[in-house]
Structure 1
Amino acid sequence: MSACSPMADLATPRIADPSEASLVAVAYSGGRDSTALLHATARQARALNDAGASLQVLALHVHHGLNTCADDWLAHCESQCETWAQAGLPIRFRSARLEGRPAAGQSVEAWARDGRHAALAAMSAQAGANLLLLAHHQRDQAETLLLQGLRGAGVAGLAGMPAQQWREGLCWARPWLDLPREALEAYVRAHQLTHIDDDSNGDPRFARNRLRLSVWPALLEAFPQAEASLAQAARWAQQSLALQQEVAAEDLRRLLSINGLAVTELLALSPARASNALRAWLALQSGRPAPASLLQRLMRELPACKVGAWCCGAGELRLYRGRLQWRVRASEVAAAEASALTTTEIDLSALGYHPLPAWHGGWQVDPVASGGLACDRLKNLQMRARQGGEQFQLKPAGTLRSLKKVYQEQGIPAWQRRGPLLFAGDTLIFVPGLGLDARFSAAAGEPQVSLAWHEMAGDERA
C-alpha cells in the first residue's frame, strides 16, 4: 500500500487507495489506544472487503520481557485477535520477543523503544506490509514536545512525531495525531472493547509518567487548551524542520564530493546555515543525529584547523586537505589485520559481489561499456597488502609513478588508502581509492567490467 493516510477520523476511519492495499500492519500493545486503532482499522477493512477489496490487517505485538505480566499481555492480544477474526474481522496476529537487557548507562525507555521499532519493522518486512499504523494521539504529541523542550532539544526534537515517515520501504503512519485522547476513550466505551492497563504507566521513575501524573493535571487546569496548542506548535516546528532539511540538501549538493565535505565552502555560509548543513551531513554519515556539543566544537575548531580528528558516534571525523570525512573506527583494526595477510588468489570472472571476510571487505564486479577491465583478464588475479614501492599509471597518456606519489597528488588521505591491491602476476592493475591502472583499460567494444572494493562496516564484521 503506497498511501499513508488511512484514517481521517475515529468514528469513520478511511483507508486511502483501497484498490492498492492488500495488507496493513498495526502496532498492537493491547492498551486502550492501540486496541481502538486495531479495531477501527479492521472494521473498515471489512467494509472495504464487502465492497470488493481484498485487505488484511496484521496486528503486531512486541513482548518486551520487562513486566511480569508480559506473557499475560501477549496471550490477551492473541486471544482478542482470534475472537475478532471469528467474528468476521480480517485480522491476523504476529508477535516478537525482545532479547537481552538495556546496556550499562542506557535507559530502559530508550532500549525498549529501539527494540520495539526494530521488531515492528522486521515483522512488517517479513509479512510484506509497507504501511504500519501507530496509535499516538494529540496528547502524546503535546507530551513529546514538552519533554523535548525540557531536554533542550532543537527544532528536530520540538517537531515531535511526524504523521507519516518512510524508513527503509516502510511507512510509519500516525493517523490520529490530531485527535484528543477523549475521542479514543469514547470509541472504546462505545464498542465495549477490553484492553490492558499497564501498571508501569504509574511508575514516576519514567519521565513521561511524571509529566502525566504531576504536570498535566495542573497544566490543563490553568490552560485548558494546552494539549491542542502544544500539538499545533509541534506542527509549526515540523514545517521549520522541513525547511531546514531542504536548505541543507541544497547546500550539501554544492559542498560534497567523493573526497568529503568542503570545509572552506561550508564556513563561508552564515553560522546558522553552516551548522544546519553540518548537522545534516553528520546524520547522513553516522545514521543518527550528532550531539549538539560536537556541532558546537566543530564550528569553533574547524576555522583554525588544517588537519584534525574528532570522535563521532561509532566512527571518527577526519580533516585532510580541506575536506571532512567520517570513517568507522574499527577500520583501523581491519587495516592492520589485512596488512598481515599473505597473497590471496582470486577469480573475479563472475559478476556481482565477491566477499572476502579475511580482508574485511569484498569486490563488486559490474559490466560497463567503457573504462573497465577486459573480461578475459579476471581470472588468476592476486590480492596483496601494500608493501611500498608499487608503480601505478593513473591516466592513459600519463607516466608510471610510485603509488605513494599518486596518492599524494590525488589528495587521497591515509585512511582511504586501505583495501588490498589487485595484481595480475607481478603487475599492479587496480588500487582501491584510485581505480584501474590506465595501461589495462579494455579496448573500445571489448567486453569489460568495472571493479570496486567495498570495506565492510563494523556490524558486518561482527
Structure 2
Amino acid sequence: MASTRNRPRAERVPQAVRATLLAHALRSKRVVVALSGGVDSVVLLHALREVAPELGIRVAAVHVDHALSPNAGGWSRFCRALCRRWQVPLTVRRVRVVRAGAGLEAAARDTRYEALCRSRAGAIALAHQLDDQAETVLLNLLRGAGLAGARGMPVSLERRGRLLIRPLLELPRERIMEYARANALQWVEDETNDDVRLKRNFLRHRVAPRLAEGFPRWREQLARAARHFASADADGNRLLRTFLAERGLRAPSESRLAEMLRQITGARRDARVALRHDGTVLRVHRDRVALTSGEAPAPFSPVRWNGERRLALAALRGELRFRRVRGDGIDPARIEGEALTVRLRSGGERLQPDARRPRRTLKNLFQEAGVPAWERGRLPLLFCGRELVWAPGLGVDRRFRAGPRQRGFVPQWCAHD
C-alpha cells in the first residue's frame, strides 16, 4: 500500500530526469551515471533506464573506488551486481587520493571528477539532489565563500570537455526515498554519513532538523537563493567575456572563464590575483580588473639624467618629462651639483613628501596612494647619490623640494599604453 500511495509523487523523479535530458539535447546520446551505490545514484540510474528507450539514450555507469573505506570493495561488488542485473555497462575505476591543502574530502572529490571525466559520453549524470544543494550553499556561506560559493552547484557544467548534469537537483531527499521504496530498490549505506565530525554531516543531522522547525522550506529557499547568485555569476561571465573580447583577446572555455571569474570575485581585497590568458595577465586591484602584458619585464640598468626635458626609458615602456616651475618641484641647489639617477626599487627606500608626516617606506606610501603592487617594482625613481628624491605619484622628498620663491623642476612619469 505504501508504495502505491507514494507512486504519484515518486513519478517526479523520472519526470525530472527526462526534462534535464531534453533541456541538454541528449536524445540518442550516451549518458553515463556516476554510480556510488548509494540511494541517490541508484535512483538516478533506475530512472534513467526508465526514460532512456523513448529518447534513444544509451545508458552506462562508472563507479569510482577511492579505496578510503574498509567497505570500498563491498560497494564495488554491489555496483557490479546491480549493473549485471539491470544490463547496464559498468566501468570501475580505482583511484589514489592524494590529500591536498583543502583536505581529504575535497581531494577525493577532485580525484573522483577526474576519473569520471575520462568517460566517453554525451553527458555524465551526477546524483546530487535538493538537500545536497542546500547543504552546499549553507556550508559555503559559513566558510565565507564569495559569489562562486553562494551559487551552489549548477544543474550542468563543462569540465575537461565533458558535460556534467544533475537531473535530481531540485528534488528533496523524501522524493528520492519514495521512488526507491516504490520500486523496491536496494542500495548501500556509507558509514561515514553518520559521522557528525564531518561538517556536512553535522549540518545534515544537527542543524538541518532545527532549521526545518522554524523554516520548513529552508532547502527550497537556499536553492532559490543559489539560483539568484548563479544568475549574477552568469552576468559576471558575460561581462568578463566582453571585457576580453573588447581588448582583442580570444574567448576562454566555459570552465576556464568560470574559474577566472571565481578567482576575480572571490579574492580578498589584498590578494594578488594574476591570471594568465592569451599572452596577457589579468590582475585585480581594489575591486578593479586590469590587463597587463604577459611578457617578462625587460632588464633595466640605472640611467643618468643630464638635464634634458624628456628622458626615454624604453625598458620601462615610458618616459620621464621635466618642466621648470617656480615654488615647486626639485630645487637644483639642494642636489649640490650631483647628477640625478633613475633607478628601480630595491627594497627599504623611504620618502617624506609631506613635512607634516614622518618619513615612511615606499611600500606604505604606494599602498596609501592606491598604486597596484605589480606596478611598484617598475616605476622609475630619482636618486641623488643614495638618497631618494622623487617617486611617481608621491612627489618630492621635503629635503629636496624648492621653496615658495625658488625655481625648481617637476618630474612627470608618462607610461606608454
Question: What is the TM-score normalised by the length of structure 2?
Answer: 0.59
SS in 2 for 1:145: helix
Change (3 A) 1:170 1:154: same
Counterpart among 43, 60, 64 of residue 50 in structure 2: 43
1:287-326 counterparts in 2 under 5 A?
289-290=262-263, 296-297=269-270, 324-325=292-293
Counterpart among 67, 70, 74 of residue 69 in structure 2: 67
Change (3 A) 1:10 1:314: same
Please tell me whether the aligned partners of residues 151 and 229 of structure 2 are also in contact (alpha carbons under 8 angstroms).
yes
In structure 2, what is the Cα distance between the partners aligned to 1:184 and 1:119? 26
Q: How far did 1:198 drift?
A: 0.3
Q: Give the partner amino acid of 1:99.
A: R
Q: How far did 1:289 drift?
A: 3.9
Change (3 A) 1:81 1:324: same
Q: How far did 1:167 drift?
A: 2.8
Change (3 A) 1:409 1:292: closer
In structure 1, what is the Cα distance between the partners aligned to 2:215 and 2:27? 44
Q: How far did 1:157 drift?
A: 1.0
Counterpart among 187, 190, 195 of residue 195 in structure 1: 187
Identity percentage of aligned residues? 34
Q: Give the partner amino acid of 2:40.
A: D
Please tell me whether the aligned partners of residues 9 and 176 of structure 1 are also in contact (alpha carbons under 8 angstroms).
no
Q: Give the partner amino acid of 1:34.
A: S
Q: Give the partner amino acid of 2:73.
A: D
1:161-240 counterparts in 2 under 5 A?
161-240=153-232
What is the CA RMSD across the aligned residues, in angstroms?
3.7
Please tell me whether the aligned partners of residues 65 and 76 of structure 2 are also in contact (alpha carbons under 8 angstroms).
yes
In structure 2, what is the Cα distance between the partners aligned to 1:140 and 1:63? 21
Change (3 A) 1:288 1:251: closer
Counterpart among 229, 235, 241 of residue 233 in structure 2: 241
> RCO higher in 1 or 2 (8 Å CA, sep ≥ 6)?
2
In structure 2, what is the Cα distance between the partners aligned to 1:294 and 1:151? 14
Q: Where does residue 151 of structure 1 map in the other structure?
A: 143
Q: How far did 1:141 drift?
A: 1.0
Number of positions where the alignment pairs a residue of Structure 1 with one of Structure 2 = 279
SS in 2 for 1:186: helix
1:51-450 counterparts in 2 under 5 A?
53=56, 55-85=57-87, 91-103=88-100, 105-122=101-118, 124=119, 128-255=120-247, 289-290=262-263, 296-297=269-270, 324-325=292-293
Change (3 A) 1:312 1:220: same
Q: Give the partner amino acid of 2:41.
A: S
Change (3 A) 1:311 1:168: closer
Counterpart among 26, 29, 34 of residue 36 in structure 2: 29
Q: Deviations 1:156-179 (Å, cap 9, x if unpaired)?
A: 111111111123432111112111
In structure 2, what is the Cα distance between the partners aligned to 1:206 and 1:313? 33
The gaps in structure 2 that reach 5 residues or longer are 1-10, 284-289, 298-311, 319-417
Please tell me whether the aligned partners of residues 56 and 92 of structure 1 are also in contact (alpha carbons under 8 angstroms).
no
Q: Deviations 1:63-120 (Å, cap 9, x if unpaired)?
A: 01110000110010011110111xxxxx1111111124314x3401110010000000
In structure 2, what is the Cα distance between the partners aligned to 1:100 and 1:233? 33
Please tell me whether the aligned partners of residues 290 and 312 of structure 1 are also in contact (alpha carbons under 8 angstroms).
no
Q: Give the partner amino acid of 1:296.
A: R
Q: How far did 1:293 drift?
A: 8.1
SS in 1 for 2:93: strand
Please tell me whether the aligned partners of residues 281 and 291 of structure 2 are also in contact (alpha carbons under 8 angstroms).
no
Q: Deviations 1:254-298 (Å, cap 9, x if unpaired)?
A: 34669xxxxxxxxxxxxxxxxxxxxx99x6598694387855226
Q: How far did 1:326 drift?
A: 5.7
Question: What is the TM-score normalised by the length of structure 1?
Answer: 0.53
Please tell me whether the aligned partners of residues 158 and 234 of structure 1 are also in contact (alpha carbons under 8 angstroms).
yes
In structure 2, what is the Cα distance between the partners aligned to 1:177 and 1:293? 24
Q: Give the partner amino acid of 2:103.
A: S
